[in-house]
Amino acid sequence: MSNQDITNSKTAFLNGVAYPIEQGESILAFSRRVQTSDNIPTLCDDSRLEPYGSCRVCSVDVALTADGPRRVMASCHTPISDGMHVFSHSQRIEKLRKNIVELVLSDLPEQQLPIEPSAHTTEFEQVVLDTGVTEVRFAKGKQSVDSLPKNSDGTVEDSSHPYMRMDLSQCIDCNRCVRACDEIQGEQVLSVSGRGFDARIIKGQDVSFDESDCVSCGACAQTCPTGAITDVFRQQLAKTTINESQPLDTVRTVCSYCGVGCNLEVSVQDNKIISIQAPKDAEVNAGHTCLKGRYAWRFYNHPDRLTSPLVRINGELTPVSWQYAYDYLANKMLAIKAEHGADALAGISSARCTNEENYLLQKMMRVVLGTNNIDCCARVCHSPTAYGMQQSFGTGAATNSIEDLKQTEFILLIGANPTAAHPVTGAKIKQKAMKGTPLIVIDPVKTELARFANWHIQLRPGTNVAVLNMMAYYIISEKVFDTSFVENRTEEFDAYKAAILALDMDELASIADVDKHMVKEAAIAYAKANNAMSFHGLGVTEHSQGSRAIMCIADLVMLTGNIGRKGVGMNPLRGQNNVQGAADMGCQPHQGAGYLDVTQAENIEYYQSHYQISDKANWPVNIGYKIPEMFNAALAGELKALWIMGEDVVQTDPNQKHVVASLSNLELLVVQEIFLSETAKMADVVLPGSSFLEKDGTFTNGERRVQKVNAAVPPKAGCKTDGQIVVDMMNALGYAQADYSADTMLEEISQVVPFFAGITWQNLGDNGLQWPVAKDGTDTKILHADSFTRGLGKFHFYEFEESQEVLSHGEAFPFILTTSRNLEHYNAGTMTRRTANERIVSEDVLLINPEDAKQKAIEDRSKVRLFSARGEIELTAEVSDKVNKGILFTTFHFPELMINRVTGDITDKHTKCPEYKVVSVGIEPVI
């Protein structure tokens, strides 16, 4: 752009050339945005952190006119302004930079100078190179290492952490690690102790990494410019495996743990993964992940990986060829279909697998085999969210995007523990709360975010409907609801209002064990906020009144008009990396790909014409089995064959004894897995699939964002992508399906799923697109902007009902157990238990209130017996005031304990989602 073209906009000059400036940017940000070759070097800057201005390497000359007097300013700190002249590489600036870098070097242990550029140059070494420093002219003074505490062998390294190592002799006091811990993760584990020359970074009260409260997100190691904090594995490999002369390849992909959908940058050499970091330009996670995404990936080439198809022969799972396995399966499945009909077969797909793989599995069940018996883990997770939000709004997915947290002025968090389960989003919520955004937490447990809440409504598990109705009561009776929104955009309000106002607040407060004044204050504050976002999790859904509680949240959102614009909305924190996608792709028994009701004539015709079905009599027209119904049907002998792709139902479904009995009664259990999970151990045929690091496809995160998954390494020897396995099987069953390829599969999906219309592999780009995506490729960040998908939003009233679990078993088993997850482990734990996360957390522990512990003579860290009407387990108790009297809490990650031996058969009335969150149990010490 010439100087004349831009005379109308605000401009500044960089080394004599004019560029337009943007409101509020610093000189550094300006110079990086206009991208000249004159890079300004920096040490303490990280674009994700607040400007710090301590290293002064980014200094530039600044003048008001081209020839005016110049002043030296820190570019990271100084705002650019109209007409400013910036000189980034004047002689005196270059000299200043050299001096600074030499001073920094003089403080560090002896370095080899000049630095040889290599493929693995650190950020600091690059600055040394860029500033042209080839020698240090200053005398070596007292070394910073001199003042560091020493290990017994005289070294200064802290190697207590499985993933990160700290060597402060390499520290240049840029404080990026401290700021990353504060500003990105919000953990405040790192700080600076001492002053001047003696200043050094400490963890907690100057303890080792493993003794500190570090949550191992790795943000410090990722930002450290020198290697003072490094990834252990990367460092080990540098000494052995990595070829230093060869640059590492990097592959961008999406994490396969939770539904946040963090982008990952995988560094690879010779088909081996060297490290994983978070790309800074990722819209979802902007250079941040939790320890699972960043570090818990070495399961991918663990020796326990399955590497051959296995068929049970004479009672033993025996390695066979793929062809043998396919022939065996095709014969068996076709024989079962011929004898018992297509509905004697069922499939469970995997929310850990790609959209394309999920789509293929439901296609195999519906199109090739002819049954709607297909479901996925959304059943045991957020099926009530999908159902409830469909009833209220017409679409069962998050209405807004996580980036809206930037705009919101109020947060309502119900039954979700995102600092453990969705850590990158959890950290964002925590940052907001720490900076003063009001927060309501409704949770029976004092979660980490509850500590930051203005109102922690610590209800009894199972009483959400009571508390949410109380909130609605106060919002209506205090007349703080949004009358115009209610009038213009909703229906059935009058009946709802009458029912709510007839409720007795004292009765509900006593049912839920909450203080009605606190509920009132919180409800009014929520209603009065200009823009409030609500988030919810399994503490809402996994209940007998799960779907109803969802509709109660939707009622509150409509009452307060918090829908249809930025910074508001109803946002389920979807669980698995691709649970949103698995349901979108039709892995549900009542809705096909794109959520079309499978029983409606026009939808049946739609699918039949897409799949060019000639034999229309064989097309399934009835709703298939939901997962709990599959187990019941197997037990009753009606279901004969079950195909499970990547779900460990034996460990994760409730009432394990019942699950095992059901699976044992099948004629054929097929499991597509990467490990011999508890379920795979029971299978007749096991097929070795591939992990997300070994395949292409797409995952859809909890904000409807479809993102590209790119293979970083090829499938482990002997394994195939899950998509290819299903394709092979479809062919073996006599259906011609082309080989698995992400882009052609996506093309087929975009023709069937209406809200994928404009999605192609090419146009997904790095940051994906949020559905619905119109044919022209326009995506949607906010749903229900001008009208709801169903037209008007619909109010629903439900009265609180006590769970049948408590009614039937509460007397004999007087404690209520609620089960959740911890940060370090993921669901069945097949993956995280095969990483060093196991060194950080190695068992499920049971939290018990101090009063209960005393009364039951249970000591902290002692073994207890936990029993219910279904079964019993023994585990370690931790005495904790995080739970109220009468409430127990644990996780379900370790098969040695198998917590689902004690959980029960009660399910949500509308969707059959299990009630994992309310289990009547007894407890006693093990003597």
418 binds Mo ion (CB under 5 A): no
Least distance to Mo ion, CB of residue 624, Å: 21
Closest CB to ligand MGD among residues 439, 604: 439
Where b means 16+ CB within 10 Å and e means fewer, 881-891 reads ebbbeebbbbb
462 binds Mo ion (CB under 5 A): no
Least distance to ligand MGD, CB of residue 291, Å: 9
Q: Which of 858, 894, 909 is nearest to 546 (CA)?
A: 909
Closest CB to ligand MGD among residues 48, 382: 382
- The pairing of strands 668-673 and 641-645 is parallel
Choose one: 283-291, 569-577, 622-630, 893-901; the region binding Mo ion (CB under 5 A): 569-577
Phi and psi, residue 539, nearest 5°: -65, -15
Q: Is cis: bond before 69, omega within 30 of 0? A: no
CA distance linking residue 727 with residue 720, whole number of Å: 11
513 binds ligand MGD (CB under 6 A): no
Residue 282, H or E segment: none
459-488 residues in contact with ligand MGD (CB under 6 A) are 459, 461-462, 464
CA distance linking residue 390 with residue 617, whole number of Å: 30
Closest CB to ligand MGD among residues 56, 456: 456
879-918 residues in contact with ligand MGD (CB under 6 A) are 892, 899-900, 903, 916-917
The contacts of residue 840 (CB under 8 Å, 6+ apart) are: 162, 216, 291, 824
239-268 residues in contact with ligand MGD (CB under 6 A) are 258
594 binds Mo ion (CB under 5 A): no
870 binds ligand MGD (CB under 6 A): no
578 binds ligand MGD (CB under 6 A): no
Closest CB to ligand MGD among residues 350, 390: 350
Closest CB to ligand MGD among residues 275, 830: 830
CB 761 within 8 A of CB 746: yes
From the DSSP assignment, how many helices (H) and strands (E) are in the chain?
29, 35
Choose one: 198-206, 358-366, 378-386, 505-513; the region binding Mo ion (CB under 5 A): 378-386
Residue 313, H or E segment: strand 310-313
Q: Is cis: bond before 772, omega within 30 of 0? A: yes
Rule CB under 5 A: choose which of 381, 386, 551, 746 binds Mo ion: 381
Phi and psi, residue 272, nearest 5°: -120, 140
Q: Which does 683 bind (CB under 5 to 8 A by kind): ligand MGD, Mo ion, none?
A: none
573-592 residues in contact with Mo ion (CB under 5 A) are 575
DSSP conformation letters of 132-182:
T--S--SPP-S-GGGGS---TTS---B--SSSEEE-GGG--S--HHHHHII
Q: Which does 830 bind (CB under 5 to 8 A by kind): Mo ion, ligand MGD, none?
A: ligand MGD
Least distance to Mo ion, CB of residue 887, Å: 22
Least distance to Mo ion, CB of residue 574, Å: 8
The count of residues interacting with Mo ion (CB under 5 A) is: 2
Choose one: 267-275, 507-515, 623-631, 672-680; the region binding ligand MGD (CB under 6 A): 672-680
Choose one: 2-10, 232-240, 689-697, 751-759; the region binding ligand MGD (CB under 6 A): 689-697
> 493 to each of 291, 386, 394, 503, 558, how far by Cα in Å?
46, 22, 17, 16, 10
Structure tokens given for 227: 């290697």
CB 346 within 8 A of CB 365: yes
Rounded-to-10 torsion of CA 476, 481, 483, 486: -90
Closest CB to Mo ion among residues 383, 698: 383
CA distance linking residue 397 with residue 764, whole number of Å: 20
586 binds ligand MGD (CB under 6 A): no
CB 887 within 8 A of CB 838: no
904 binds Mo ion (CB under 5 A): no
Least distance to ligand MGD, CB of residue 580, Å: 11
560 binds ligand MGD (CB under 6 A): no
Closest CB to Mo ion among residues 423, 575: 575
Least distance to Mo ion, CB of residue 918, Å: 17
CA distance linking residue 672 with residue 691, whole number of Å: 11
Choose one: 103-111, 118-126, 197-205, 573-581; the region binding ligand MGD (CB under 6 A): 573-581
DSSP 294: H
708-727 residues in contact with ligand MGD (CB under 6 A) are 722
Q: Which of 390, 513, 355 is nearest to 885 (CA)?
A: 513
Q: Which does 468 bind (CB under 5 to 8 A by kind): ligand MGD, Mo ion, none?
A: none
Torsion sign (Cα): 650, 654, 655, 661 = negative
Residue 732, H or E segment: helix 722-732
819 binds ligand MGD (CB under 6 A): yes
Least distance to ligand MGD, CB of residue 532, Å: 17
Rule CB under 6 A: choose which of 537, 592, 715, 772 binds ligand MGD: 537
343 binds ligand MGD (CB under 6 A): no
The H-assigned helical ranges of 545-702 are 546-559, 579-584, 601-610, 627-635, 649-652, 656-664
CA distance linking residue 760 with residue 662, whole number of Å: 41
Closest CB to Mo ion among residues 48, 422: 422
353 binds ligand MGD (CB under 6 A): yes
Q: Which of 316, 267, 321 is nearest to 294 (CA)?
A: 267
Choose one: 86-94, 106-114, 598-606, 669-677; the region binding ligand MGD (CB under 6 A): 669-677
Least distance to ligand MGD, CB of residue 255, Å: 11
Least distance to ligand MGD, CB of residue 768, Å: 19
CA distance linking residue 498 with residue 476, whole number of Å: 10
Rule CB under 6 A: choose which of 226, 576, 578, 911 binds ligand MGD: 576
Write down the residue that tokens 């619905």 correspond to: 772
647 binds ligand MGD (CB under 6 A): yes
Rule CB under 6 A: choose which of 377, 424, 836, 877 binds ligand MGD: 377
285 binds ligand MGD (CB under 6 A): no
675 binds ligand MGD (CB under 6 A): yes
Rule CB under 6 A: choose which of 73, 823, 864, 877 binds ligand MGD: 823
Closest CB to Mo ion among residues 381, 816: 381
Three-state SS for 247?
coil
Choose one: 11-19, 270-278, 397-405, 685-693; the region binding ligand MGD (CB under 6 A): 685-693
CA distance linking residue 874 with residue 877, whole number of Å: 9
Closest CB to ligand MGD among residues 233, 892: 892
Closest CB to ligand MGD among residues 123, 801: 801
Least distance to Mo ion, CB of residue 418, Å: 13
Residue 709, H or E segment: strand 705-709
Structure tokens given for 189: 């584990």
The contacts of residue 818 (CB under 8 Å, 6+ apart) are: 444, 445, 461, 539, 887, 888, 889, 916, 917, 918, 919
Angle formed by the axes of helices 505-512 and 464-477, to 10°? 150
Name the residue with the smallest CB distance to Mo ion: 575
Give contact residues for ligand MGD (rule: CB under 6 A): 258, 350, 352-353, 377, 380-381, 414-418, 420-421, 442-445, 447, 459, 461-462, 464, 537-540, 542, 573, 575-576, 645-648, 652, 672-675, 677, 689, 691-692, 722, 818-821, 823, 825-828, 830-831, 892, 899-900, 903, 916-917
Give contact residues for Mo ion (rule: CB under 5 A): 381, 575
